[in-house]
Amino acid sequence: MSGKNIKKNNDDLMEKIVSLCKRRGFVFPGSEIYGGLGGAYDWGHFGVALKNNIKQNWWKKFVESRPDMYGVDAAILMRQEVWQASGHVAGFADPMVECEKCKKKFRADQLEDKKKCAECGGKLGTVVQFNMMFQTKVGASGDSSAISYLRPETAQGMFVNFKNTVDAFHPKLPFGMAQIGKAFRNEITPRDFLFRQREFEQMEIEYFVRQENWEEHFEYWKGEMLDWMEEVGLDMAKVHELEVSKEDRAHYSSRTVDFEFDYPFGKKELFGLAYRTNFDLKAHKLDYLDEERSEKIIPHVIEPTFGVDRAVLAVLLSAYCEDEKDGEIRSFLKLKPNIAPVICAVSPLLKNKPELVEYANTKVYAPLKTEFGRVAWDDNGNIGKRYRRQDEIGTPFCIVIDFDTLTDDSVTVRDRDTGKQERIKVVDLKKYIKEKIS
Ligand code: ATP
């Protein structure tokens, strides 16, 4: 079905996305059966697939396809000295204010009325700095030397492995380190679904350069970030660059550009690009021997940072479409084939015809499943219902095995976006799909 595109930017888009995510097994509220835990979400089968595809795409572009990038997967728990040196113990805080009447807490910098509680109208108290790191104790001793933190950014896991990486690989400047992993922030007011959580994932790069070249690298990485956003299917008309003012920059940054996205709840940060100077390496007392020039320097750092969860949310918001044909509305996710959780669904036209089921299973489903993994078997309900179901989770192709297949060894491949159907030879299916993914 290819009909008139309607209502893509409706006001209840967030509700539709949240509901689709739960109903179709992408994302569930954390600890839901015990009443939920604010700022924590659990990922279901299709959500994990979508998230993994986005992460793999990122890793391929920024690590595997480059000669100058070194991957890291550091421990989440690190010694407290790491966070003291990095400035997070002293300064990783948001301004917090409490209502004197209902005791509700707010991010002071996000309030329109700084004096009156938005919930009960009570008087707001004085603003205090609230450190967002989750503190924990490592080991049984329980004294202050056992204090550790769940990392609030993946970046430090790379800086503390700078020397190890240089010693192991002897990279020449400029070069980068990259990491994908969990980060934790005790946000005062988690909100807006995946946008502001207390546990989330980051994909970060620390790119080490000579100080005199930082501006050129900064511009280069801006372009790379935009390219990647386009590659995973973000609606680029909704992406905006913001030059972050000095007062709003993180303590380590001398220049920051935020990439903002037009979410249904406003224009807000999606990803960021920071010039961290040599703040972190200096703080950890690390340096680099440039053998060609026989000099020791402390390289400067350009940091492109991507939130995985905000990427997933922006991809879903960009992909969500509704169209209408013959009075019927269908909703579908126009996900790129390389990102979609399921690349194709295989259906025997009728599930009570053993010859169709047998053919579909052995000659189509099994070989495609072995090749691509992301292949679904769908024989529930009539074909129209199966198409709707697959459209909703963004499956680009539905393959139907009918009675003609038994004689001509061809199947019908139906395109999610246009509704157009093509007859493809079974022997050509793998090639056909490979071309679509690439
Ligand atoms: P914000 O201003 O929205 O709090 P930030 O500037 O503190 O974000 P960074 O420290 O630059 O964010 O973190 C890097 C990336 O991690 C962000 O661009 C975003 O994609 C993601 N991120 C940060 N905080 C959260 C969160 N609470 N939930 C989900 N993703 C987050």
Question: For position 9, what pLDDT does the model report?
Answer: 52
Element holding 207 (H helix, E strand): strand 199-209
Distances (CA, A) of 348 to 74, 344, 360, 419, 428: 47, 13, 6, 18, 18
Q: What is the DSSP string of 134-147?
A: EEEE-SS--SGGGE
Q: Take atom 20 of ligand 1 and give the residue whose Cα is closest.
A: 307
Question: For position 7, what pLDDT does the model report?
Answer: 47
Determine the straight-line distance between the first and last CA of the chain, rounded to whole angstroms: 25
* 272 Cα nearest atom in ligand 1: 18
Q: Take atom 29 of ligand 1 and give the residue whose Cα is closest.
A: 196
DSSP state of 110: G
Question: For position 273, what pLDDT does the model report?
Answer: 98
Find where tokens 């790129």 sit: 336
Give the residue among 61, 131, 42 at the shortest CA–CA distance from 309: 42
Q: Tell me the CA–centroid distance for residue 342 and ligand 1, in Å.
A: 29
Q: Tell me the CA–centroid distance for residue 157 and ligand 1, in Å.
A: 17
Question: For position 151, what pLDDT does the model report?
Answer: 97
* 187 Cα nearest atom in ligand 1: 27
DSSP state of 31: T
Distances (CA, A) of 336 to 57, 70, 202, 398: 12, 28, 22, 15
Question: CB–CB of 208/176 below 8 Å?
Answer: yes
Specify burial of residue 64 (Cβ count, 10 A radius: 0-12, 13-18, 19+).
Answer: exposed
Q: Tell me the CA–centroid distance for residue 10 and ligand 1, in Å.
A: 26
Q: Take atom 22 of ligand 1 and give the residue whose Cα is closest.
A: 307
272 within ligand 1 shell (Cβ under 6 A): yes
Q: Report the DSSP beta bridge partners of residue 134.
A: 150
269 within ligand 1 shell (Cβ under 6 A): yes
* 310 Cα nearest atom in ligand 1: 20
Q: Take atom 24 of ligand 1 and give the residue whose Cα is closest.
A: 196
Q: What is the DSSP string of 284-311?
A: TT--EEETTTTEEE--EEEEEEEEHHHH
396 within ligand 1 shell (Cβ under 6 A): no
Helix, strand and coil content of the chain, in percent to the nearest 5, comes to: 35, 30, 35
Q: Which mutation among 110, 180, 202 tests ligand 1's pocket best, with the greatest number of atoms within 8 A of CB?
A: 202
How many whole angstroms separate alpha carbon 198 and alpha carbon 186?
5
* 152 Cα nearest atom in ligand 1: 10
Tokens matching residue 239: 């992406």
Q: Take atom 7 of ligand 1 and give the residue whose Cα is closest.
A: 250
CA dihedral 180, 178, 80, 78 (to 10 degrees): 60
263 within ligand 1 shell (Cβ under 6 A): no
How many whole angstroms separate alpha carbon 313 and alpha carbon 20?
12
259 within ligand 1 shell (Cβ under 6 A): no
200 within ligand 1 shell (Cβ under 6 A): yes
Residue 260, classed as helix, strand or coil, is strand
Q: What is the DSSP string of 301-360?
A: EEEEEEEHHHHHHHHHHHHEEEEEETTEEEEEE---TTT-S-SEEEEES-TT-HHHHHHI
pLDDT tens for the chain, 438 residues: list them.
444 555 455 569 999 999 999 999 999 999 999 999 999 999 999 999 999 999 999 999 999 999 999 999 999 999 999 999 999 999 898 899 999 999 999 999 889 899 999 999 999 999 999 999 999 999 988 788 899 999 999 999 999 999 999 999 999 999 999 999 999 999 999 999 999 999 999 999 999 999 999 999 999 999 999 999 999 999 999 999 999 999 999 989 999 999 999 999 999 999 999 999 999 999 999 999 998 899 999 999 999 999 999 999 999 999 999 998 778 889 999 999 999 999 999 999 999 999 999 999 999 999 999 999 999 999 999 999 999 999 999 999 999 999 999 999 999 999 999 999 999 999 999 999 999 888
Question: CB–CB of 18/195 below 8 Å?
Answer: no
Question: For position 213, what pLDDT does the model report?
Answer: 97
Q: Which mutation among 269, 275, 306 tests ligand 1's pocket best, with the greatest number of atoms within 8 A of CB?
A: 269
Q: Take atom 3 of ligand 1 and give the residue whose Cα is closest.
A: 269
Backbone angles phi, psi at 367, to 5 degrees: -65, -35
Backbone angles phi, psi at 255, to 5 degrees: -155, 135
Question: For position 65, what pLDDT does the model report?
Answer: 98
Question: CB–CB of 155/303 below 8 Å?
Answer: yes
CA dihedral 60, 61, 63, 68 (to 10 degrees): 150
CA neighbours within 13 Å on the CB side: how many for 352? 2
Q: Take atom 19 of ligand 1 and give the residue whose Cα is closest.
A: 307
For the chain, what is the radius of gyration of the CA atoms?
A: 25
Tokens matching residue 91: 């300064």
Q: Take atom 8 of ligand 1 and give the residue whose Cα is closest.
A: 269
Question: CB–CB of 318/296 below 8 Å?
Answer: no
Question: For position 325, what pLDDT does the model report?
Answer: 79
Tokens matching residue 104: 């509700």
The bridge status of strand 320-325 relative to strand 288-290 is unpaired
Q: How many CB atoms lie under 10 A from the CB of residue 409? A: 12
* 308 Cα nearest atom in ligand 1: 20
Distances (CA, A) of 179 to 2, 59, 139: 41, 9, 27
Question: CB–CB of 313/268 below 8 Å?
Answer: no
**Domains of the chain and CATH, by start:** 4-79+155-317 (3.30.930.10), 342-437 (3.40.50.800)
Give the residue among 310, 317, 274, 231 at the shortest CA–CA distance from 56: 231
Q: Take atom 15 of ligand 1 and give the residue whose Cα is closest.
A: 307
